[in-house]
Chain A
Amino acid sequence: MAPVDERERSELFEQTVLPHLDSAYNLARWLAGNDHDAQDVAQEASLRAFKYFGSFRGDNARAWLLSIVRNSFHTWLRKNRPPEKTVEMTDDILDIEDSSVNLETVNPQFADAGAVRRAIAELPLEFREIVILREMEGFSYKEIAAMAEVPIGTVMSRLARARKLLQKSLAAAFNPGDQR
């Protein structure tokens, strides 16, 4: 039987960290791209979080857990997959010519989650994680910068570029003849 303080620690962990397992899995699922690997990453991250739970002093357990998920994913990636093509980063967010693709005309089809899902999945990893953390998990730029260990300016430029890419591929998906 586990000593009492161990059990107390598990209980506290179940109350403060495990409620965020959905967020952890969602991030892992979008990063890894499939359920099997995502479960491995999320489980590894949760157990790692439990191991270091004693040193958790912050007030945002969700952000803390998600940065562990992110780290676990990168460790897993190094072991299991050849490096994904990385994008060349520039701070010039206007270099993807915005061309004001009019998404209003494709709005009705936005209900089609399939196309949106494909568009997100096609994003380079560095962009994808920021989109997930910002749009699905609602973290602030500052929180994302801390989690992804990059400056806030980089979060902003990646997010802007990711959005342009998403708008472009969604517009292309719905108006194939209207690509500009």
Chain B
Amino acid sequence: MNCQQAKPLVGPYADGELDAAAILELEKHIHDCSACALEWRNLQSLKKALKQDALYFSAPTELRRRIKAELPSARTAVTRRSIWNWNWLTTATSGAFAVCLALLLLTAQTRPSPQQQLAQEVVSCHVRSLMASHVTDVASTDQHTVKPWFNGKLDFSPPVKDLAPEGFPLTGGRLDYLDGRSVAALVFQRHKHTINLLVWPATEADSKPAPVKAAQGYNLIHWSKAGMAFWAVSDLNQKELMEFVQDFASDQAVSP
């Protein structure tokens, strides 16, 4: 590959839009060519500059409120509330207080172990991804698209592997936030079931895949390998989820 061929590919490469063969050739070229390497670094700087939070405009609360007020249900709710304004407020406050108290008592009695707490967070993360129709940020069945997509978004590089031949096709990836840090979420499909595989650098020693007590009807499997912690979560049955985990963990092949 020469510079003429390489230059137009640098952008698509940075965007995770190149196929595996082209990635290999381009990486080889960038390695040997300082002009294209500079182009690549410049593009990364630019992409980083465009992604800074200060440039993103979040929706004003007022706008959100106005839109909700225009929806049919919200309209009726608003009128009802304004009639019994005070009553409603007092009831709500005392109700909320009672709920807080009950929760406080409950948690004091049955304080879950750290692993159970984490399992609960993993399940919430899974449910959230399905509810908000935000399962994937990068939708692709190609591991060579999904893996580079995480570059620069995380301070680690998660192993990505498509398990379509095993019957668990990769459908994409997503960034999520869990246990106080950003994590990689790989999304797989088994028939109609979505499997979220959450990955982040492990703080504990390697461990074999083991089911974690299911919560809210979801099955969970946790393991650690090569410095990464893995949590698989799905509404898929325990047996098939374990098959998935074993296929993924088997040689844990990592795409380039």
Contact = CB atoms under 8 A, between A and B. Distances in A.
Q: Do A and B bind each other?
A: yes
A104 B132 contact: no
Interface in B2-53: 7-8, 11-12, 15, 17, 35, 38-39, 41-43, 45-52
Size bracket, chain A contacts: 35 or more
A26 B50 contact: no
Nearest to A16: B133
Contacts, number: 142
Size bracket, chain B contacts: 35 or more
Interface in A124-158: 131, 134-136, 138, 140-141, 143, 156
Contacts of A120: 50, 55
Contacts of B66: 43
Contacts of A42: 59, 63
Interface in A1-17: 1-2, 6-7, 9-11, 13-16
- Which DSSP category, helix, strand, loop or mixed, fits chain B's interface? helix
B17 A140 contact: yes
Contacts of A47: 67, 70
A136 B56 contact: yes
20 contacts: A2-B73, A10-B71, A24-B59, A25-B59, A39-B62, A43-B63, A50-B70, A59-B133, A100-B42, A102-B38, A103-B41, A107-B45, A110-B52, A116-B50, A117-B55, A136-B50, A136-B55, A140-B140, A141-B15, A167-B42
